[in-house]
Amino acid sequence: MERRVFGVETEFGITHRGVAVDGAPRPGLAPDETARYLFRPVVEWGRSSNVFIPNGSRLYLDVGSHPEYATAECSDIEELIAADRAGERIMDDLARRAEEAMAADGIDGTIYLLKNNVDSQGNSYGSHENYLIPRTTHFRRLSTVLLPFLVTRQILCGAGHLVTEQEEAGRELGPHYAFSQRADHMWEGVSSATTRARPIINTRDEPHADASAHRRLHVIVGDSNMSETTQLLRYGTTDLVLRMIESGVPLGDYELQNPIRAIREISHDLTGTATVLTRDGEEMTAVDIQAGLLDRARRFVSEEGAHHGHLEQVLQLWERTLQAVASGDHSNIDTEIDWAIKKRLIDEVAARGSLALDDPRLGQIDMAYHDIRPERGLHHVLVRKGRAATLLGQEQIDQAVLLPPATTRAALRGHFLSTARAFGAGHSVDWVHHKLVDRPLEAIMLKDPFETAAERVETLLDTLGDRRAVVRELSAEERLDQPVPPALSERYLVTGGTVPPPPVI
Ligand code: ATP
Ligand code: MG
Ligand code: MG
């Protein structure tokens, strides 16, 4: 694919803690009640707990109690990371408002939203990546190359996890630090189920695009990342491996005998020396497989040229991370790679207090690293201390809260729904469809995710009134001034004119 569409869905862990009395924390509300408070402004705004918002993304509260944010379609990795970070802002803003609403109801306490993948009961929730791929991509290459890549990718972009007790293949592993939170919760390689069997690659065929030309590859194995540089490596390497698969260059055959056993063994061996068996009976380490693919990727990029501005950074960080794992010296990546940033902090605190790895205080750090509240979350603290690198400026994230990515149909979705709201017109949208309730027969389908200027959309919106004369786009300051969460603020203001009556059908 010359250009690709990306999207990432994040499910957050949610906890409410009551105010401590005499040092003893009181239990707070149950997660589902807390999540209902969290989504109250969303439901007031959109009459549903499953809405698309002006920046083109989807906010969603499922029956479980893991609020979800799915970024709009992005066509550039930096745009994707900004959209994802905007999701953290949006959720944090909702959490602050929920605390106020609770206080008004006489419920004191604090909401913690964690961008991680396991809660203290051992339940897992996901970070799902979506990649647009051509329908012609051979399925076989997905299992011979992409699956082994994803099984071993955790050594690059796992979020790190302190494991206090673990039995692996009948053997007791003592307390230890693992690469990934998600690895132990994967049960299948490639399949179409999501919740029950949790496959690494989900083949459920919902392309949200022209199904004869494209697939949406749905990868549910990734850990949620706090670090922007780790995200760059995660999406950058995956995109590159997909490009190599799509272009048909020889990549070798790394097909694994048992991907699910392999993903666990790799996660629990921080030395990177655990070997896994390929279908041909060869023993390879995660570093071997990744180094083989990195080598191919370097060759591929030198022949084809760079297709985005961060490619050299991706290749260098890829190489440095493999070196760090192979040598056991992580000092070269411990500001850029989530598992290493967090491990350094845990190691320091453990050494300072002579704490054993299963000390609950270290478990707390493991969780607090993922707290999305900027004043409190340990990743945020490390960024402020210069111990965790960033990629984006704050203004990019601020903008991504208010506006959709400009390079995909998300721009049209955001424009459509904000305009319909400005005119007070009933409407509905999803990834593909745009409908005004009063004109159901004129609903518009945008199957091309790269479409950014559809005359059809403008024509339908023209039925609302004379937009050129009466609609004004509000500035960021004006939007922040509105009493609602910025992400739900009105983008356009109708300043006059008359709204025409609905058509008679
Ligand atoms: P659910 O999570 O309810 O099971 P789902 O997997 O369809 O459903 P959504 O939460 O709706 O997921 O999120 C879809 C994600 O796919 C979004 O991040 C979106 O940006 C992305 N996306 C939409 N269309 C495409 C496309 N054609 N190619 C790749 N990604 C896409
Ligand atoms: Mg989803
Ligand atoms: Mg999904």
pLDDT band at 500 (very low <50, low <70, confident <90, very high): low
Mean pLDDT (the chain) is 93
Question: Is residue 290 in a domain?
Answer: no
Q: Is residue 455 part of a domain?
A: yes
Residue bearing the CA closest to ligand 1, atom 11: 70
Pocket test for ligand 1, best of 3, 137, 208 (most atoms within 8 A of CB): 208
Q: Which atom of ligand 1 is nearest to the CA of 130?
A: 30
Q: If DSSP codes are grouped into helix, strand and coil, which group holds residue 276?
A: strand
Residue ranges of the binding site for Mg(2+) = 9, 60, 68
Residues that constitute the known binding site: 9, 58, 60, 68, 71, 431
Tens-place pLDDT, residues 234-243 = 999 999 999 9
Residue with tokens 């493991």: 366
For the segment 310-366, what is each residue's pLDDT rounded down to a tens digit?
999 999 999 999 999 999 999 999 999 999 999 999 999 999 999 999 999 999 999
Query: Which pair of structure tokens corresponds to residue 98?
Result: 């929920």
Question: Radius of gyration (Cα) for the chain, nearest Å?
Answer: 24
Instruction: Kindly give the number of the ligand 1 atom that is closest to the alpha carbon of 9.
Output: 18
pLDDT for 326 equals 97
Q: Rounded to 5 degrees, what are φ and ψ at 494?
A: -90, 120
Ligand nearest to the CA of 206: 1
Q: Does a structural domain hold residue 437?
A: yes
> Which residue did the predictor score with more confidence, 454 or 375?
375
Mean of the pLDDT values across residues 393-402?
A: 97
Cα(213) to ligand 1 centroid in Å equals: 17
Whether the pLDDT of residue 31 is over 70: the answer is yes
415, part of any domain: yes
Report the percent of the chain where pLDDT is more than 90.
81
Instruction: Examine residue 467 and state whether it is found in any structural domain, yes or no.
Output: yes
Range from 85-99, 125-139, 184-198 carrying the lowest mean pLDDT:
184-198
Max mean pLDDT range (29-33, 120-124, 188-192): 29-33
Instruction: Select from 130, 192, 430, 448 the residue to mutate for testing ligand 1; criterion: most ligand atoms less than 8 Å from CB.
Output: 130
User: What is the domain extent for residue 463?
Assistant: 398-494
ipTM over 0.90: yes
Residue 31 lies inside a defined structural domain of this protein:
no
The pTM for the full model equals 0.95
Q: What confidence category does residue 142 fall into, taking pLDDT thresholds of 50, 70 and 90? A: confident
Any idea which ligand is nearest the CA of 204? 1
Burial category of 498 from C-beta neighbours within 10 Å (exposed 0-12, middle 13-18, buried 19 and up): exposed
Q: Is residue 145 part of a domain?
A: no
Whole-number pLDDT of residue 478: 97
pLDDT for 443:
96
Is residue 359 annotated as part of the catalytic site, yes or no?
A: no
What average pLDDT does the segment 5-22 reach? Answer: 94
Query: What's the token pair of residue 38?
Result: 């969290």
Looking at residue 164, its pLDDT comes to 86
Distance CA(391)–CA(396), nearest Å, equals 10
Ligand 1 geometric centre to CA of 70 (Å):
7
Q: Which ligand is nearest to the CA of 220?
A: 3
Query: What three-state secondary structure class fits 250?
Result: coil
For ligand 1, atom 28, the nearest C-alpha belongs to 132
Does residue 165 have a pLDDT over 70? yes
What pLDDT shows up at residue 499?
Answer: 57
Report pLDDT for 343. 98
401 alpha carbon – ligand 2 mean position (Å): 19
* Distance of CA 392 from the midpoint of ligand 2 (Å): 25
Catalytic: which of 32, 62, 280, 430?
62
Reported as a single tens digit per residue, the pLDDT across 113-130 is 999 999 878 888 989 999
- Whose C-alpha lies nearest to ligand 1, atom 19? 7
Could you tell me which of 390, 241, 236 has the C-alpha nearest to residue 315? Answer: 236
Write out residues with Cβ below 6 Å of ligand 1: 5, 7-9, 58, 70-73, 130-132, 206-209, 216, 218, 431, 449
CA dihedral 242→243→245→246, nearest 10 degrees, is 110
| Cα angle: 160, vertex 293, 326; to 5 degrees | 50
Compute the distance from residue 66 Cα to the ligand 2 centre, in Å.
Answer: 11
Which residues make beta-bridge pairs with 166?
173
Residue closest by Cα to atom 13 of ligand 1: 70
Q: Of all protein residues, whose CA lies closest to atom 9 belonging to ligand 1? A: 70
Count the residues in the chain: 505
Best probe residue, ligand 1, of 216, 220, 446 (max atoms within 8 Å of C-beta): 216
Average pLDDT over residues 444-469: 93
Give a yes or no: residue 302 inside a domain.
Answer: no
Q: Which ligand is nearest to the CA of 211?
A: 1
User: 98-102, 166-170, 299-303: lowest mean pLDDT where?
Assistant: 166-170
Task: Say if residues 366 and 161 touch (Cβ distance below 8 Å).
Answer: yes
Cα 85 from chain centre = 9
Distance between Cα 74 and ligand 1 center (Å): 11
Question: Which atom of ligand 1 is closest in space to residue 204's alpha carbon?
Answer: 6
What total of structural domains would you count in the chain? 1
